[in-house]
């Protein structure tokens, strides 16, 4: 694991200690259906884009994003055709916040993914969202339990994998969404071939077991060519953050990626 990832996990452990032990999340709204959203988008030969409200990457600030900004950005992404919005809530390295997530979700009607380093059950009690990211490489042997906890709390877990070993562990959980992150957690290098290499294993597992997983390619997609590459390999959806935020044209860049298959 890269030192940056270890630092984020250590920071998250300290953050968890600040969560009141007796906190309980009471859902005010029903979970929004990402599966129907993906199916509807693909039926029209459009790309199912999960676009991200992303203030920063570790060591690289993209822009200041207040809750008001998050609401506006999420609305533009929805208007451009995104099927869901990912919101960073990790505060120290990604400059995210649960307030940004609340503001975004209150301003749109599509599903919202909480993107953070979830390592403790108390984090499920912090804020309402439709989906929640669970990183297989960080949770290790605790992955299956965390998937079941997420489901029991009303979240749709998106289990993120980076290699074949993590994928094998993810597939035997109850998670229906598998995110293939093209960024190597040991080197932080990005390679879109990671998606291409891991998809056949998911397809084979589903064929052998009568299951159906939704595959989401994550990280490193900047152009329509990048999008087409992973969709043609079998990804059902893509998660894109940096290129949309950096573009400065939230609506136009999101729509460009949603329409990537129009050029085929």
pLDDT tens, position by position, 141-178: 999 999 999 999 999 999 999 999 999 999 999 999 99
Per annotation, catalytic residue among 102, 115, 229, 253: 115
Q: Tell me, what CATH number does 41's domain have?
A: 3.20.20.70
For the question of residue 52 being annotated catalytic, the response is yes
The total of structural domains in the chain comes to 1
Please indicate, yes or no, if residue 26 is contained in any of the structural domains.
Answer: no
Please indicate, yes or no, if residue 143 is contained in any of the structural domains.
Answer: yes
Please indicate, yes or no, if residue 182 is contained in any of the structural domains.
Answer: yes
Distance separating alpha carbons of residues 190 and 217, to the nearest angstrom: 12
For the full predicted model, state whether its pTM sits above 0.75.
yes
The token pair that represents 29 in the structure block:
């709204």
Per annotation, catalytic residue among 41, 46, 51, 52: 52
Q: Are 51 and 85 in contact (CB under 8 A)?
A: yes
Boundaries of domain holding 120: 3-17+32-263
Instruction: Find the mean pLDDT for residues 202-214.
Output: 97
Please indicate, yes or no, if residue 25 is contained in any of the structural domains.
Answer: no
Distances 137 to 5, 143, 169, 204, 227 between C-alpha atoms, Å: 10, 9, 10, 22, 25
pLDDT of residue 264: 57
Please indicate, yes or no, if residue 192 is contained in any of the structural domains.
Answer: yes
Distances 138 to 22, 155, 209, 221, 256 between C-alpha atoms, Å: 25, 19, 26, 23, 33
The token pair that represents 39 in the structure block:
């199916």
What are the φ/ψ torsions at residue 218 (nearest 5 degrees)?
-130, 145
The token pair that represents 122 in the structure block:
């108390």
For the question of residue 160 being annotated catalytic, the response is yes
Please indicate, yes or no, if residue 191 is contained in any of the structural domains.
Answer: yes
Count other C-beta atoms under 10 Å from residue 180's C-beta. Answer: 28
Of the pLDDT bands very low, low, confident and very high (cuts 50, 70, 90), residue 49 is very high
Strands 156-161 and 237-240: unpaired
Please indicate, yes or no, if residue 11 is contained in any of the structural domains.
Answer: yes
For the question of residue 28 being annotated catalytic, the response is no
Please indicate, yes or no, if residue 129 is contained in any of the structural domains.
Answer: yes
């Amino acid at each position: 694991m890269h030192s940056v990832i270890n630092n984020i996990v250590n920071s998250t452990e300290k953050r968890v200690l600040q969560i009141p032990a007796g906190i309980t999340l009471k859902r005010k709204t029903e979970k929004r259906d990402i599966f129907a959203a993906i199916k509807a988008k693909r039926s029209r030969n459009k790309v199912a884009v999960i676009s991200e409200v992303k203030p920063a990457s570790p060591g690289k600030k993209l822009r200041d994003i207040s809750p008001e900004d998050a609401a506006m950005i999420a609305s533009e992404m929805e208007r451009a055709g995104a099927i869901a919005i990912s919101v960073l809530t990790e505060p120290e390295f990604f400059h995210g916040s649960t307030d940004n997530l609340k503001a975004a979700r209150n301003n749109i009607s599509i599903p919202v993914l909480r993107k953070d380093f979830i390592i403790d059950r108390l984090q499920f009690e912090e804020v309402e969202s439709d989906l929640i990211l669970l990183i297989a490489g960080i949770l290790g042997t605790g992955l299956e339990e965390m998937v079941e906890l997420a489901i029991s709390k009303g979240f749709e877990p998106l289990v993120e994998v980076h290699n074949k070993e993590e994928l094998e562990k993810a597939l035997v959980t109850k998670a229906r969404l598998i995110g293939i992150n093209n960024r190597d957690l040991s080197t932080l290098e990005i390679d879109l071939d990671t998606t291409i290499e891991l998809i056949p294993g998911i397809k084979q597992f589903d064929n052998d077991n009568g299951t159906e997983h939704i595959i989401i390619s994550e990280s490193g997609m900047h152009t329509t060519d990048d999008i087409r590459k992973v969709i043609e390999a079998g990804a059902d959806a893509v998660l894109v953050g940096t290129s949309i935020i950096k573009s400065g044209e939230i609506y136009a860049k999101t729509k460009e990626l949603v329409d990537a298959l129009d050029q085929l």
